[in-house]
């Protein structure tokens, strides 16, 4: 049935001024598909506007989540206090293994800013850890396996992207031969499937040495000392460690709730565009 001018006037009253035509159209109720062609055009414009606003709101929500995630990605000293000695070589000649991650003996509380300037006091039973000396005064690592293994495991409170590893060596006056010169770090999230080998330079007594880990991702590490500085300095008949520290930031693994929200937002957009 052909619409009359009077019919259109009743269904879609004239606007008060031409400038209000576009904005007022979005405030009007939906009309059936049999409406006049000019009415269907207005409906199409309004639908496009609603789709645009839905997409805008979803993008803002996703952007907010990304910003929140980025704000939490600041480098920190990673809590390594959950440490266990798992090596076969007798240890605890000095303090327990926890003394190498509790900050005891350091000249100041550790921060990312002061990591390479904080020093460590000479060893004692309250601030350092060491093995026994199975080969007497000889090289700890030249005993035909008699020295056993020197291994400890650390579980972090979260998965981290780990950038650096810093150690403060165990020393007797100027003798630094007991300090580790080579280590293997096994790491992963929920396992130890990845591995990296590191060489640790010899430093002066009490000073830190930092090596780059290249941003490995892990919620746990297993460190095995494979050699010390015997011959490069006095000592070397055992393995000793004063303190260790890891620097990194929380790994970018989205929370399940955040992942679900982003997924729902994307689904809403797809469904909206199909209508």
CA gap 182, 237 in Å, rounded: 15
CA gap 174, 222 in Å, rounded: 29
Read off the pLDDT of residues 108-154 as tens digits, 9 standing for 90 and up: 999 999 999 999 998 888 999 999 998 888 999 987 777 889 999 99
Band of pLDDT at residue 203, cut at 50, 70 and 90: confident
pLDDT at position 162, please?
Answer: 98
β-pairing verdict for 208-228 and 194-199: unpaired
pLDDT at 231 over 50: yes
pLDDT at position 59, please?
Answer: 52
pTM to 2 decimal places: 0.68
């Amino acid at each position: 049935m052909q619409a009359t001018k009077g019919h259109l006037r009743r269904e879609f009253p004239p606007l008060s001024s031409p400038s209000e035509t576009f904005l007022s159209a979005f405030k009007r109720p939906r009309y059936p598909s049999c409406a006049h062609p000019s009415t269907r055009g207005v409906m199409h414009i309004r639908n496009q506007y609603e789709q645009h606003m839905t997409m805008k709101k979803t993008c803002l929500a996703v952007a907010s989540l990304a910003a929140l995630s980025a704000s939490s990605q600041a480098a920190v000293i990673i809590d390594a206090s959950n440490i266990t000695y798992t090596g076969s070589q007798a240890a605890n000649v000095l303090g327990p293994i926890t003394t190498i991650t509790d900050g005891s003996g350091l000249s100041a509380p550790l921060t990312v800013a002061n990591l390479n300037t904080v020093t460590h006091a000479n060893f004692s039973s309250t601030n350092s850890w060491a093995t026994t000396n199975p080969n007497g005064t000889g090289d700890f690592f030249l005993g035909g396996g008699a020295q056993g293994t020197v291994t400890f495991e650390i579980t972090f409170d979260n998965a981290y992207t780990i950038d650096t590893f810093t150690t403060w060596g165990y020393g007797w006056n100027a003798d630094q031969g007991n300090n580790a010169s080579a280590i293997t770090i096994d790491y992963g999230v929920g396992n130890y499937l990845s591995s990296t080998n590191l060489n640790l330079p010899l430093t002066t007594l009490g000073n830190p040495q930092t090596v780059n880990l290249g941003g490995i991702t892990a919620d746990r590490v297993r460190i095995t000392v494979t050699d010390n500085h015997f011959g490069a300095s006095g000592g070397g008949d055992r393995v000793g460690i004063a303190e260790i520290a890891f620097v990194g930031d929380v790994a970018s693994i989205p929370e399940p709730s955040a992942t679900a929200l982003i997924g729902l937002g994307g689904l809403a957009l797809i469904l909206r565009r199909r209508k």
